């Protein structure tokens, strides 16, 4: 999978993906990250790419022509690499006004061969170029950052770990929070006893079926306590529905809110 990031701060992107699992995935050729400097497409000697907003107001706005030309250059490169089978490459604009990012969107994007990520800065980008080239808008949360680089890194991280081979063990992405309806069960490693706290006995038993059941129940408990909005009894298996009813009966903690 190839990411093409349109940004004013390419070093930030390249630094951000150069470590740990993403760094290894790049070295192994499983993903490729290219950062295109929008400033290279500036139309003036000072290399400015922003200007004051029409209509007045605070801050500066990124101009349409450099953004468009950066996108055009990347699109041509992608087209020349794709050869005959050219597909329209999705262009994701990182913006607080976008679709809230989720594991589901990460899964959807992981199916793409190429992805263009557009990072805004200052007060944002001239709307006309957004209307012309952007296919998707994604927000990483209800807060405002100084630029789209951190959001682009968040998206690339979540998407990359779903690309086959990026995680050492392909199962690890299937068994964790948001892969199904539940958050992940608690994890433990050595030492067996830590500050007087023991690892749950069942995890030392070697009994795979009991461990599976214990983890499922722990996942359900955690989700019911921390994110009851994720629970949908209609989607539960028979086994899950049985555990769910027992947990509800067991504790008022999981009951309907008194608001
Ligand atoms: N004036 C814009 C507004 O009120 O929505 C905010 C612009 S912000 C200072 C500069 C850039 O950071 C945005 O164009 C966007 O690319 C990025 N950005 C900031 N917060 C973001 C978020 N929560 N999710 C995704 N991108 C964000």
Strand-strand pairing, 2-7 and 114-119: parallel
The reply to whether ligand 1 has any atom less than 6 angstroms from the CB of 66 is no
Distance, CA 120 to ligand 1 centroid (Å)?
7
| pLDDT number for residue 251 | 81
Q: What residue ranges do the domains of the chain occupy?
A: 2-160, 193-258
The mean pLDDT value for 127-147 works out to 98
Closest to 142 (Cα-Cα) out of 202, 90, 95, 174? 95
| pLDDT band, residue 170 (cuts 50/70/90) | low
Please identify, by atom number, the ligand 1 atom nearest to the C-alpha of residue 147: 12
Give the chain's mean pLDDT: 94
CA dihedral (39, 123, 10, 66) positive or negative = negative
| pLDDT number for residue 177 | 81
| pLDDT number for residue 171 | 58
Architecture of domain 193-258: Orthogonal Bundle (1.10)
Q: Would you say 109 and 155 are in contact if contact means Cβ atoms under 8 Å apart?
A: yes
The reply to whether ligand 1 has any atom less than 6 angstroms from the CB of 67 is no
The mean pLDDT value for 150-165 works out to 98
Distance, CA 31 to ligand 1 centroid (Å)?
26
Architecture of domain 2-160: 3-Layer(aba) Sandwich (3.40)
């Amino acid at each position: 999978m190839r990411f093409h990031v349109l940004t004013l701060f390419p070093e930030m992107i390249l630094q951000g993906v150069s470590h740990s699992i993403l760094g290894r995935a790049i070295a192994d050729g499983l993903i490729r990250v290219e950062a295109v400097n929008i400033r290279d497409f500036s139309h003036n000697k000072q290399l400015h790419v922003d200007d004051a907003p029409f209509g007045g107001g605070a801050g500066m706005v990124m101009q349409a022509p450099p953004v468009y030309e950066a996108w055009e250059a990347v699109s041509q490169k992608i087209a020349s690499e794709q050869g005959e089978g050219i597909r329209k490459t999705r262009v994701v604009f990182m913006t607080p006004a976008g679709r809230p990012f989720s594991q589901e969107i990460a899964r959807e994007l992981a199916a793409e061969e190429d992805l263009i990520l557009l990072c805004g800065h200052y007060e944002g980008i001239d709307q006309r170029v957004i209307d012309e080239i952007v296919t998707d808008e994604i927000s990483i949360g209800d807060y405002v950052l100084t630029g789209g680089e951190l959001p682009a890194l968040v998206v690339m991280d979540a998407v990359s770990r779903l690309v086959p081979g990026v995680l050492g063990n392909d199962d690890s992405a299937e068994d964790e929070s948001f892969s199904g309806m539940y958050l992940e069960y608690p994890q433990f490693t050595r030492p067996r006893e830590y500050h007087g706290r023991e690892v749950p006995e069942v995890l030392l038993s070697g009994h795979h079926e009991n461990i599976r059941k214990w983890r499922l129940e722990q996942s359900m408990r955690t989700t019911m306590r921390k994110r009851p909005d994720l629970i949908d009894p209609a989607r539960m298996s028979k086994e899950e529905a049985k555990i769910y009813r027992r947990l509800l009966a067991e504790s008022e903690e999981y009951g309907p809110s008194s608001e």
